[in-house]
Structures are given as structure tokens and as C-alpha cells.
């Protein structure tokens, strides 16, 4: 018969130890919370600026992938059109060769080798065709045209297949970059949400004052712009106050390279979409004192930010998420000036 024993109660010593341990854990948690005070608005701004810079770098990579996707789609469409037209031409050539064979048959005897050709691939056959006395020069010429067209179609189909794979890879990369940008912006927004309404207003007012000061500075003396650069700069000026949106190239929103490419397009000049590609056109200007209004100006070692030189050390650009197209001092961009480009 089983015995029924009462569970052994914990000793007073053990209870005391457990209570002390729990109390210590609570105390440590409280100390940890006290050791991580709420960051100041300046600290929040510094962290969000760093996140915005990372987001802008990812944005330029996103723009590059999007531009590549657009070009690949057009190239694939062109190739598919060529293949369709080439297949139609091939069918016409085959029909013509069939007509020759039919005419030969009606006049007294089609060669068996031609019959074979009409129902098979002519590549192996053509190497021997020129040696056969039974074939006419016209038939041989027609065979050569068919073979050339078949090889061209095979090459175009292979090229289209390769580009389709590249397009699939590019779309995957595009999705990754989009998620990366959104993640950085989400982190920045969480940090900003820790600020009070008054702190947010203070930071916004500070940026607004800096932009007004830059705008006043632009009114001073500056080297004259060339015709195209001047026209691009004037176009960009009409977009002051337009919001920054990553991946946007106008006319109602822009990212940094979206603004510069749009502005030059208004001046009748087509330039690449991304800042890194824009850096490789025109004439480079390494001295800030040699810059002219409308020159492209690039910042950071990887050239992920670009704007238009506005004169007197100021630029006109689309800075980052949460801002608008505005003037800003080159000294406050957050990264070093690398060089300018005169288009």
C-alpha cells in the first residue's frame, strides 16, 4: 500500500536566500534602467542623421538596381521583337526554298538531299551541299541564308535567356535594398518618437533657420553658370520645398540623384540616374573655389550624395527623408566634399 507523505516544505534559510536573490535581481534591473537614461535631442539627432546617411546610401543602390531593371526590361523586349521578326523571316526563307524544290520536282526530279533538308536542320547538310552537282546556285544561296538566320535566332534567344536571368537577380536585389532602406528609416523614426513635441519643433526650427541662411548666402556673388548648368539650376530652384522620397525622380518628390537628373533633363541634358554614375560624366572640379553654379557636387567617399552647387559654399539638394529640397551649406552635409562635375 502506497504511503502518502506531505511534501517537504522549504526551509526558512532557503526562503530567505530566494527572497534575497529576487530582491537583488529587482535592484539590478532598476540600476540598469537608471544607467541608460533617455538620450538628449542632440544625441537623437546624431543617431538619426547616421541612420539617414545609411538609408541614403542604400537608396542610391536601390536606384541603381531599379534603373538596371528598367534597361533590362527594354533590352529583353527589343530582343524578343527581333526574335519574332527573325522567325518570320526564317519562315519566309524556308517557304522560298520549298518553292524552288517544288519547281524542280515539276520539271523532272527533285534531289533526295533537298527533300531531306526540307524536314530537318540544314546545319550539317550545308557543309556538303556545295559539293553536290544536283543543287543549283540559287538553292545553295537560299540554304546559306536559312543557316545564317537560324544561327542568329539561336544567339538572340540565348542572349534573351541570359538577360531574363539577370533581370530576376536584379529584382531580388531591388527587393533587398528596398527592405534595407525601410529598416533604416524605421529605426530613425523610432528614435525621433522618443523626443517630445517641443524637442522636435526645436530641431525643425534649427534646420529651417540654416536653410534660410543658406538661401540668403546664395544671393551674394557667385561665378556665373554655363548655359546648361544654369538652366538645370533654375529648374531645381522651382522645386524648393518639394519633399524627399527615396527612389523618386520627380516631379512631385525627389531623392538626391533624382533631383539632379531631373533638373538636367529640364535643360535638355540626359545624365545617369545614380550619384555614382553621375560622378563619371563631364569634367571633374576638385577645388571648391573653382565651382560654378549648377555644377554637380559629390559628398562622402562612396559618392552616395549629390547636389547642385548654388554659389558661396552652398548647395541646392534633396537631403534625406523628412526634409524637402532646400539650400544648405556644404560644411553641414555630414560628409566631406569629394569633387564637382561640370556637365
Residue listed under C-alpha cell 543557316? 147
Tell me the pLDDT of the chain averaged across its residues: 81
Dihedral sign computed on CA atoms, order 239, 244, 249, 253:
negative
Backbone angles phi, psi at 238, to 5 degrees: -70, -10
- Residue 312: other Cβ atoms inside 10 A: 17
- Residue 195: other Cβ atoms inside 10 A: 19
* Confidence grade of residue 105 (pLDDT, cut at 50, 70, 90): very low
Range in 138-142, 151-155, 303-307 the model is least confident about: 138-142
Cα–Cα–Cα angle for 277, 327, 313, nearest 5°? 80
d(CA 145, CA 90): 9
- The strand order across the sheet containing 296-299 reads 283-285, 337-342, 296-299, 305-311, 314-317, 326-329
pLDDT digits (tens, 9 = 90+) for 18-40: 454 545 454 445 454 455 577 78
pTM of the entire predicted model: 0.69
Backbone angles phi, psi at 308, to 5 degrees: -110, 130
Whole-number pLDDT of residue 28? 46
* Multiple choice CATH, 198-342, 3.90.1720.10, 3.40.190.10, 1.20.950.20, 1.20.59.10: 3.90.1720.10
Q: Is the pLDDT of residue 132 over 50?
A: no
d(CA 70, CA 75): 9
Tell me the catalytic residues. 256, 305, 317
* Higher per-residue confidence, 104 vs 139: 139
In the chain, what are the domain boundaries? 41-192, 198-342
Amino acid at each position: 500500500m502506497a504511503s502518502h507523505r506531505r511534501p517537504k516544505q522549504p526551509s526558512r534559510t532557503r526562503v530567505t536566500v530566494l527572497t534575497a536573490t529576487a530582491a537583488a535581481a529587482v535592484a539590478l534591473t532598476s540600476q540598469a534602467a537608471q544607467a541608460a537614461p533617455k538620450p538628449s535631442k542632440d544625441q537623437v539627432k546624431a543617431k538619426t542623421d547616421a541612420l539617414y546617411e545609411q538609408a541614403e546610401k542604400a537608396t542610391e543602390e536601390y536606384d541603381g538596381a531599379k534603373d538596371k531593371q528598367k534597361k533590362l526590361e527594354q533590352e529583353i523586349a527589343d530582343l524578343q521583337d527581333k526574335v519574332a521578326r527573325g522567325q518570320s523571316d526564317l519562315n519566309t526563307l524556308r517557304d522560298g526554298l520549298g518553292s524552288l524544290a517544288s519547281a524542280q520536282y515539276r520539271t523532272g526530279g527533285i534531289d533526295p538531299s533537298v527533300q531531306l533538308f526540307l524536314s530537318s536542320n540544314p546545319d550539317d547538310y550545308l557543309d556538303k551541299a556545295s559539293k553536290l552537282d544536283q543543287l543549283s546556285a540559287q538553292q545553295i544561296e537560299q540554304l546559306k541564308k536559312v543557316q545564317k538566320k537560324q544561327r542568329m535566332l539561336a544567339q538572340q534567344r540565348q542572349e534573351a535567356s541570359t538577360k531574363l536571368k539577370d533581370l530576376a537577380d536584379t529584382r531580388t536585389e531591388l527587393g533587398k535594398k528596398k527592405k534595407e532602406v525601410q529598416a533604416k528609416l524605421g529605426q530613425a523614426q523610432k528614435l525621433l518618437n522618443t523626443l517630445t513635441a517641443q524637442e522636435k519643433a526645436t530641431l525643425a526650427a534649427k534646420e529651417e533657420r540654416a536653410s534660410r541662411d543658406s538661401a540668403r548666402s546664395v544671393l551674394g556673388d557667385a561665378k556665373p553658370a554655363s548655359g546648361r548648368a544654369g538652366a538645370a539650376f533654375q529648374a531645381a530652384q522651382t522645386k524648393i520645398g518639394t519633399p524627399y522620397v527615396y527612389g523618386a525622380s520627380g516631379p512631385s518628390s525627389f531623392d538626391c540623384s533624382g533631383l539632379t537628373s531631373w533638373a538636367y533633363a529640364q535643360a535638355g541634358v540626359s545624365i545617369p540616374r545614380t550619384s555614382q554614375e553621375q560622378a563619371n560624366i563631364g569634367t571633374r572640379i576638385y577645388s571648391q573655389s573653382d565651382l560654378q553654379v549648377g555644377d554637380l557636387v559629390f559628398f562622402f567617399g562612396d559618392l552616395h550624395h549629390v547636389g547642385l552647387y548654388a554659389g558661396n559654399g552652398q548647395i541646392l539638394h534633396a537631403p534625406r527623408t523628412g526634409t524637402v529640397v532646400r539650400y544648405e551649406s556644404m560644411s553641414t552635409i555630414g560628409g566631406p566634399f569629394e569633387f564637382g562635375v561640370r556637365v
